[in-house]
Amino acid sequence: MDLNSILPRFSATALLVAVAGCGQENVFEPPPPPEVTVQRPVQREVTLYKDYVGRADASETVEIRARVKGFLRTIDFEPSQFVDIGDPLFTIEPESFLAAQASAEAAVDQAKAAAGLATVTVARAQAAYDKDAVSDLEMMEKRAQLDAAEAAVRAAEAALDTAKLDVSYTIILAPIKGRVSREYVTIGNLVGSGEATLLTTIVKIDPIYAYFNLSERELLPYLRRRKHDDNPERPARLQFSDGREYEHEGEIDFADNTVDALTGTIQIRAKFPNPVGGLIPGLFVRVLIPQETQEVKLVPEVALQRDLAGPYLLVVNEGGAVERRDVALGERLKDLRIINSGLDGSERVIVKGLQRARPGVNVAAQEANTAAPSAGTSEEAG
């Protein structure tokens, strides 16, 4: 087959392909609308809480000091250790105090011996006095000597008690149950010389207190309620500075007896159980006090967006288009947020796929297939 016979057929085929290609039109097919997940606002009755900034404090604090003079011999605890009543903490060298105790015991024996002799002397003098062999003055002298001897016994016994007490002070025990700090004086140092040297501190943290201030205006309703309530104590919740909620509920158990004239506030105390030491003295906390129960609208916290104009939500209208709704926010309840205004409760709020949604854009909305998170009360904040 030669080249001349092939070329006519190739040209005809190329022409048919070209004609066929020119007959097709390029039609643009728009992408499908982005998919988003929507959820209607949750309506629940919740207890609203008002929060106050406070500080945690120990229910008991004890300073451990040296009550006798001597060199520190032992330290019997680890820093930050929990101790019980009677646990040993420190030992001060006891030898000089043991010697003083032995001397006091000998003085007691000596005084008792002298008192015994004086007792016998008075008995013999009394027998002679009964026979008119001893004068009244001599009899009075014998009795006075006996009184002095008995007084000397009591003085010696008191000195012995003091000596024993000094010996007991050389072994320092924990007076309360709590967490001990570090040692402020190390072994070998002289303590108790001229002053009661501070050795360490112990704090009792179960229960633990949270102190905060209440304004005069907020105090007045509490005072009115107390007139008509035999048990005016109110429950309280607590949050840490990072927003995490403390797991145990407490109660208000103390209010100061005067309002500070300079600040117009009164100090209030709430008491919380602290069995595992999750709270330590000095922490800044938020004390949450219940105010009222009301029905509110809630949306998942993840649905909220913010810009310079403030917080807003994206909702899908009946036509499938995205709309922006500016809202006023209330308290946060776990993973939900109270919406004070901006929603009527019928909106379909976008909770997933927010990065693909823009106001004015049509979307394919799917209802959330999981039940909306339940909202308890606002003490679940955080």
Q: How confident is the model at residue 356 (pLDDT cuts 50, 70, 90)?
A: confident
DSSP-based three-state secondary structure for 220: helix
What percentage of the chain carries pLDDT values higher than 90? 55
Which residues lie below 8 Å from residue 242, measured CB to CB, with a gap of 6+? none
Confidence of residue 9 (pLDDT cuts 50, 70, 90): low
Per-residue confidence at 154, pLDDT binned at 50, 70, 90? very high
Tokens read off for 381: 């904040």
Top pLDDT among 214 and 222 is at 214
- For 245, counting Cβ atoms within 10 Å of its Cβ (0-12 exposed, 13-18 middle, 19+ buried), the class is middle
Residues 205-216: what's their mean pLDDT?
A: 93
What pLDDT was estimated at residue 294? 83
The pLDDT tens digits for 86-112 are 999 999 999 999 999 999 999 999 999
Rounded Cα gap, residues 28 and 26, in angstroms: 7
Residue with tokens 């909620």: 245
Tell me whether residue 330 is exposed, middle or buried, using C-beta atoms within 10 angstroms of its C-beta: 0 to 12, 13 to 18, 19 or more: middle
Q: Is the pLDDT assigned to residue 244 strictly greater than 90?
A: no
- Residue 103, C-beta contacts closer than 8 angstroms, at least 6 positions apart: 163
Q: Is the dihedral of CA 335, 338, 342, 346 positive or negative?
A: positive
Structure tokens at 306: 């913010």
Q: What is the mean pLDDT of residues 328-333?
A: 84
Q: Which of 48-57, 172-181, 348-357, 367-376 has the highest mean pLDDT?
A: 172-181
Other C-beta atoms lying within 10 Å of the C-beta of residue 259? 15
Which whole-number Å values give the CA distances from 202 to 35, 122, 285, in the listed order?
60, 57, 22
Q: Pick the more confident residue, 376 or 127.
A: 127
Going along the chain from its start, the domains and CATH numbers come out as: 35-46+295-380 (2.40.420.20), 51-58+203-293 (2.40.30.170), 95-169 (1.10.287)
CB 178 within 8 A of CB 277: no
Task: Say how many Å lie between the first and final Cα of the chain, rounded.
Answer: 88
Q: What is the mean pLDDT of residues 39-50?
A: 87
**33, 152, 356, 357, 365 from 29: Cα distances, Å:** 12, 117, 19, 20, 21
